[in-house]
Amino acid sequence: MTEVQRRMAELSNTIYLAGEWVPSVGDRHDVIDPATTERASSYADATGEEVDRAVAAANEAQSIWWQMSALDRANALHEVASKMVERSPRTGECLTREMGKPFRESNWEGGAAASSFRYYAEIARSEAGRVAGPAIAGQLQMVLKEPLGVAVSIVPYNFPMLLAGWQAAAALAAGTAVIIKPSELTPVTLLMWMEAFEHLPRGLVQVLTGGAATGQALVSHPQTHAVAFTGSVRAAQHVAATAAERFKPTLIEASGNDAFIVMPSADIEIAARGAAFAAFLNCGQVCTSAERFYVHESVYEAFVARLAAAAAALRVGSGLEPIDIGPMASKRELLRVERIVARAVEQGARIETGGRRPPHRSTGWFYEPTVLRVDHSMEIMHGECFGPLAPVARVASLDEAIRCANDSDLGLGANIYTNDLAESARAVREIETGIVWVNTPLNDNDAIPFGGRKFTGSGRELGTEGLDQFRRSKMVMIAPDAEPDPEWFPYPDDDAFRT
Ligand code: NAD
């Protein structure tokens, strides 16, 4: 047993409440390591009473946090970032054991989340509103940005530290407290991640484990004030509906089914390598995974051959071994992906490579990176696969590619590989998504807002827009001297209505 496994056992069934890991009295569930199918950890469903205690602690901590100077808050957030980086190999091992991704990727998450804490630590102290040109001479008229209070952050299993980090960094920098509700598949990762937050006021950041009921209890609680949700469309709709009852501001980051377009001017070798990364990273369990490929007919065969070769060369195995692709995060997810492939084949798709569980792995929920020849009419192109699948359709023109890309209820990201400036410009302008990547799949930047359109959701994470998700505006007007206003009573008779 490693030191991290010992710590995972200690943290199992706890919640991080008011600055301490305390055992929850709620019902308990096992988390299964998807590479070994053995128990990795366990978690409890936080009870209603535990939710009440956490919400009270969060409100108390928030008022202490907001009374501190902006500089002290910034320093405390930089300390969070440093601790996160220092502990990243530990939380990374834990994450791999809980949901299977390669250690390189789970270790990366700690550093990537830390980067957003450093970014928000600085931008939040550089402005807290703005001063307007006064509408009344001599007055100070301004908008002050104030924290929303207590935010609920509900996160999925695929990038728990990165996604909770984007939301928590912005919320804390804005002066808002956060209660995080992790996925049922990665509860202990976020409990362990709390080691980086111990120096903050007790209760400012908390983790309450459980399923949809815990999430709903937090969202509907009268003393929580904002909701940030990342996950599936269905769950997002439930969360948004509950939040709407109290008009709580809601940030929704739901599913994607990103298109990946390849045009003849692209370097096909590089485009295929980029495509393999975009489709198979984290076993395809990325909200911005390339989910459907539209490749110009003149380079279709060359692209499919190269992508299939790249897919077949990927090493599939336990995330704690030197591999490229881990297992699917759960058996349910594996079975879902198998059903999608079976349905595609039924509809006429042809498997170029993959399409099965790897024969050399008898245990674990592994699936081979899969390339399929498809057309746009098939179900696999409409909806989110969220697995290691690359369905590739042939298109005759950029017009057709853009039309297919936009033929979707979801609108997170889109990729295009081209060396033609005019084609790049058209893709950027015409594709109906929150993100467009030209020749650089899946990258992000703390300083640029991330999010989607259509059923993918509303609101933005990262950038100054991300900070404003957790602040409200207050209109303030200050007259230096109290003087009578010419608009006051009594009204002059000259202004009265005349017939
Ligand atoms: P999920 O919707 O099943 O769960 C996400 C979280 O919501 C979990 O913590 C879950 O317990 C909670 N939840 C579920 N139902 C709820 C309800 N009714 N009320 C309150 N909370 C509820 O998603 P998942 O399977 O964990 O993650 C995969 C999904 O997340 C994919 O659709 C993916 O595209 C999406 N995702 C989106 C982004 C983005 O930025 N747009 C990023 C990552 C993942």
Spans of all domains in the chain: 3-254+469-476, 258-438
pLDDT at 107: 98
**Homologous superfamily of domain range 3-254+469-476:** Aldehyde Dehydrogenase; Chain A, domain 1 (3.40.605.10)
Q: Which of the residues 50, 94, 98, 287 is marked catalytic?
A: 287
Q: Which atom of ligand 1 is nearest to the CA of 456?
A: 41
pLDDT over 90 at 277, yes or no: yes
Residue nearest to atom 41 of ligand 1 (CA): 253
The C-alpha torsion from 341 through 298 and 406 to 242, rounded to 10°, is 30
**Homologous superfamily of domain range 258-438:** Aldehyde Dehydrogenase; Chain A, domain 2 (3.40.309.10)
pLDDT at 480: 95
Q: Which of 158, 188, 221 to mutate to test the pocket of ligand 1 (most atoms within 8 A of CB)?
A: 158
pLDDT over 90 at 303, yes or no: yes
Which are the contacts of 45, defined by CB distance < 8 A and separation ≥ 6? 24, 26, 27, 28, 29, 209, 210, 211, 213, 214
Whether 3-254+469-476 and 258-438 share one fold: the answer is: no
pLDDT at 167: 98
How far is residue 215's CA from residue 125's CA, in Å, rounded to a whole number?
A: 31
Residue nearest to atom 42 of ligand 1 (CA): 287
Question: Helices (H), strands (E): how many in the chain?
Answer: 15, 22
What does the radius of gyration of the chain's CA atoms come to, in whole angstroms?
25
pLDDT single digits (tens) 158-182: 999 999 999 999 999 999 999 999 9
Instruction: Give the burial string for 113-125 (b: 16+ CB within 10 Å, else e).
Output: bbbbbbbbbebbb
Is 283 catalytic? The answer is no
How far is residue 336's CA from residue 285's CA, in Å, rounded to a whole number?
A: 12
pLDDT-derived band at 244 (thresholds 50, 70, 90) equals very high
pTM (two decimals): 0.97
pLDDT at 287: 98
Contact 200, 80 (CB under 8 A): yes
Give me ligand 1 centre to Cα 360, in Å: 31
pLDDT single digits (tens) 426-476: 999 999 999 999 999 999 999 999 999 999 999 999 999 999 999 999 999
How large a percentage of the chain has pLDDT more than 70?
Answer: 100
pLDDT at 215: 98
Averaged pLDDT, 193-216: 98
How far is residue 477's CA from residue 116's CA, in Å, rounded to a whole number?
A: 34
Averaged pLDDT, 59-85: 98
pLDDT single digits (tens) 120-129: 999 999 999 9
pLDDT single digits (tens) 96-149: 999 999 999 999 999 999 999 999 999 999 999 999 999 999 999 999 999 999
Q: Which atom of ligand 1 is nearest to the CA of 183?
A: 9
Q: Which of the residues 109, 253, 352, 423 is marked catalytic?
A: 253
Q: In degrees rounded to 5, what are phi and psi of residue 389?
A: -120, 135
pLDDT-derived band at 499 (thresholds 50, 70, 90) equals confident
Where do the DSSP E strands lie in 442-485?
Answer: 453-454, 457-458, 471-478
